[in-house]
Amino acid sequence: MQRSTRKKAVQGVAFSFLWIGAIITIVVLLVIVGYILYQGVPGLSWEFLTQSPKAGGKEGGILPMLVNTIFLVIASLAIAIPVGVLSAVFLAEYAKQGRIVRLIRSAAENLAGIPSIIFGLFGFIFFGKILGLGWSLLNGALTAAIVVLPTIMRTSEEALLAVPQSYREGSLSLGATRWQTVTRVVLPAASPGILAGLMLSMGRIVGETAALIFTLGSADRIAQSLMDSARPLSVHLYILAHEGISTPKAFSTATVLIILVLILNLTAAFLVSRANKNRKTKG
Amino acid sequence: MKQGTARWRMNDKVIRSLLFVCAAISVVAVLLITVMIFVEAFPALKETGVWDFIAGTKWKPTDTPPQFGILPMIVGSVYVTGLALLFGLPIGMATSIFMAEIAPPKVAVVLRRAIEILAGIPSVVYGFFGLMMVVPIVQTLGGTGMSVLTASIILAVMILPTIVSVSEAALRAVPAEYKEGSLALGASHWQTIVRVQVPAAKSGILAATVLGIGRAVGETMAVILVAGNIPVIPESILKAVRTMTVNIVLEMGYVQPGSLHYSALFATGAVLFVFIMLLNFSIRALTKTRGEKQKNAKKH
Amino acid sequence: MKPGRTFAAIISIALVAGLMAGCGGTTPNGSQSETGKITVVGSTSVGPYMDELSKLFMGKNPGISINVEQVGSGQGIAATKDGSADIGMSSRELKDEEKPLNEYKLCLDGIAIVVHPDNPVSNLTKEQVKKIYLGEITNWKDVGGNDAPINLYTREASSGTRGAFEELVLGKDAAGKQITIDETICAAVLNSTGNLGASVGNDKNAIGYMSLGIVPEYIVKAIKFNGVDATPENVKNKTYALQRPFLLLTKNEPTGIVKDFLDFCLSSDEAKAYLESQKLIIE
């Protein structure tokens, strides 16, 4: 009898620690997001979103940085999506499982673990100085593309592998080539999962700073061409924060950043759950 | 029919080669980065000697002759990461066990969303938050507020999502039979968790930890704003510290390509790189074991 | 392919193509045309002013695009030398090994020694500042202040402001070598003026140095140096000894749009009026 009450007591204590841990997690989130939103939302306004910064960022808005971020995302994904999705297609649909496939997969995993500052160094030297791109949108896009390549490869491959084999068999038996099967049957079926990976990558690009500081440059105007330097939102926040130019503007910029990333990640989660639902019903 | 099949095969080969090229790009990228870092690092490492570089305690690149010892930065990275784990691992484990085992379903969903949001916050925002809120608080404990402690707190929050999500997945992957068997034998829920489920998920949890370490060691923007950045081995957690990543960023502005100082920065990057590669290998080794266990479990 | 993805692909390609078309607008520096791109790289002290000047200039010359990268004097000098920058910005004199480059003095700027507003010390001699930063004086009471340790704050190694400070205050040692700040005795190394100002403002026992023109008045207090107030007037009449030039650097004789921009910055009334409004001194 005593043993079981002691067991229950220990369990009670242990479980309260678990509850505490979970509560701490939620509290941390609320504090961080709450504090930033609390300080930053008052500064949000239509003007803030549509004007250029004045006086180095002390006044005005963040329009150029927003636009540059959008340009950056589009340019990076324009590079990373074809390479990443097609690589995943190769690994999932065409390749023979063997040493080469393992090599490619481990290369992608290694790439995933490299700290962003090393990507920044690489972009600065290789794209910037050796290839002569200097501080430019193209340099930043290439660097950011390498950063998100592993994510796109991994999520696309998982999405492709999750497509039931019966789809492929059905298509092939109807006389389609492997390529036709992939593009017209498998890829569409895998698209929610692939799109989710894209959304996650977008979030990553939007939040990336260390890799972009030495590659994208800090010109605070809308980039006029791929070779223009183009300060994105994340670098703008860094500059505002550590130059102490304007704390309120920094908070508002951080708020916009958080909201942007939130939207992207929530869309990704939504797409993933829809993909899972589809799979269950089609089953 | 025969002609059609032959053309099909040739097209297939062409497509396959194109796809192979795409896939090979990631290999090329890794190789390029690795080669570049070590090639640029070579002059400084040759000049100082690898051992003196890693174990030297004086970082004075502008002296004549310059001294390049990054031990303070290595210690800094380890110190800050270790402390971050000390804070983050218990909370992360508690949260993941909570989510996997005792949370009511709706609460688990809320937690999962919370973790996702935390995971998505950019590191520069974390750094900014640290500068605005954590530094003044730590300052009340003494010192300038920019210290090991501050950086560790921020990093702990940053690695929390990684630890929680990977650990939770590992716990959920433990076969239900383990739990049922243990409960049937009379163990309490908690005893089951501690003595059966967590050990069974051990390799996944270790993987989560290693991933968290990797993220903490590689972090730059959050740390540079709050850590004080002095190239000395910190005497206490309230003193300033410089990590390897910050060393690279801080001195980048001085880079005159071709100079020894420039090479020393790449050497710092090389050490960091090796560190991370070793971590990556250990994750791979751990998750392979986990994958095999899962396969065996599924066979039941 | 799913129609949505084709559409997205078309949009991305179109945008990328549009951006690349902008590339065609750049012309080499030697031409007399009214379009082109100028890359300005260097000091974070000079950068914000060059940013404004470039905006004024671009307002009059809409075809010209000027990117200002604020990455530090050291990198500005290096970029000018290796050609990745058209114009370099430095907030200190060039060292012997960095010459030869064409140097153009934009203006003079003072360096203020700053302490916490509540610090009773309001004047320090050059000897005192030197000994403090060499670690020979470590307590405020030795210079007339409270009994408290002196916390040293400094900029990072590549900062032009720091370089100028070291040159003007620490001087050379017996062997003729420049004495540099020993970071290991400092409380913190900050990589921007704003951060340094904020840190000094948060620490009652702090001492730091920053550009005179941007001392944040309610956050820190600029003390007298050798008995002289830190004001632009005193910099102009040379009684305030801590002053350094803001230099614009080019590798070769400037021609074309680079020359036009340089002329604008160095001799136009508009530029002079702007700089003087920012507490900089034109000679």
As a whole number, mean pLDDT of residues A93-122 equals 84
What are the 10-residue block averages of pLDDT along chain C, 283 residues in total? 48 53 40 71 84 87 85 82 87 82 88 90 89 90 88 84 87 80 84 78 87 79 86 85 89 88 89 85 80
Of B286 and A79, the structure prediction assigns the larger pLDDT to A79
pLDDT tops 90 at residue A238: no
* Residue C186 touches chain B, beta carbons under 8 Å: yes
Binning chain B into helix, strand and coil, the percentages to the nearest 5 are 80, 0, 20
Burial of A208 (0-12, 13-18, 19+ CB in 10 A): buried
Of B6 and C197, the structure prediction assigns the larger pLDDT to C197
pLDDT tops 90 at residue B58: no
As a whole number, mean pLDDT of residues B35-60 equals 85
As a whole number, mean pLDDT of residues B242-263 equals 79
* Residue B55 touches chain A, beta carbons under 8 Å: no
Contact call for C39 and A229, based on CB within 8 A: yes
CA distances from B185 to A6, A13, B182, B192, C94 (A): 17, 22, 5, 10, 80
* In contact, A148 and A204? CB cutoff 8 Å: yes
pLDDT of residue A229: 83
Q: Which residues contact A3 (CB under 8 A, 6 or more apart)?
A: none
As a whole number, mean pLDDT of residues B98-120 equals 87
Closest CA to C70 of C92, C51, C52: C51
pLDDT of residue A280: 58
CB < 8 Å from C in window 201-220 of A? 214, 217-220
Rounded-to-integer distance, Cα A184 and Cα A171, Å: 9
Of A144 and C233, the structure prediction assigns the larger pLDDT to A144
3-state SS, residue C65: strand
Which residues of chain B approach chain C closer than 8 Å at the C-beta?
Answer: 59-64, 135-136, 139, 143-146, 224-225, 228-232, 240, 242, 249-257
pLDDT tens, position by position, B155-173: 999 999 989 988 888 888 8
CB < 8 Å from B in window 121-180 of A? 121-122, 124-126, 129, 146, 149-150, 153, 177-179
pLDDT tops 60 at residue B48: yes
* In contact, A14 and B143? CB cutoff 8 Å: no
Closest CA to B254 of B60, B38, B57, B48: B60
pLDDT of residue C87: 92
Q: Is-cis flag, bond preceding C100, omega within 30?
A: yes
Q: Which two tokens stand for residue A43?
A: 């500064």
* In contact, C264 and C38? CB cutoff 8 Å: no
pLDDT tops 50 at residue B213: yes
Q: Which residues contact C86 (CB under 8 A, 6 or more apart)?
A: C29, C38, C39, C40, C250, C258
Alpha-carbon C5 to chain mean position: 47
- pTM across the whole model: 0.83
pLDDT tops 80 at residue B7: no
Mean pLDDT score across all residues of chain B: 83
Q: Which residues contact A256 (CB under 8 A, 6 or more apart)?
A: A40, A44, A49, A62, A66, A233
pLDDT of residue B3: 47
- Which residues, in sequence order, are bridge partners of residue C111? C211
| Residue B30 phi, psi (nearest 5) | -60, -45
Residue with tokens 């939620």: A26
pLDDT confidence bin for B6, thresholds 50/70/90: low
Residue in B135, B144, B251 nearest the CB of C187: B144
H or E, element range at C70? strand C64-70
pLDDT tops 50 at residue B83: yes
Rounded-to-integer distance, Cα B209 and Cα A138, Å: 36
Contact call for B250 and C189, based on CB within 8 A: yes
3-state SS, residue A223: coil
Beta strand ranges found along A2-130 (DSSP E)? 53-54, 59-60
pLDDT tops 60 at residue A191: yes
ipTM exceeding 0.90, yes/no: no
Contact call for C52 and A244, based on CB within 8 A: no
Burial of C22 (0-12, 13-18, 19+ CB in 10 A): middle
* In contact, B159 and B95? CB cutoff 8 Å: no
Alpha-carbon B277 to chain mean position: 11
Q: Around Cβ B215, how many Cβ atoms within 10 Å?
A: 21
As a whole number, mean pLDDT of residues A256-269 equals 85
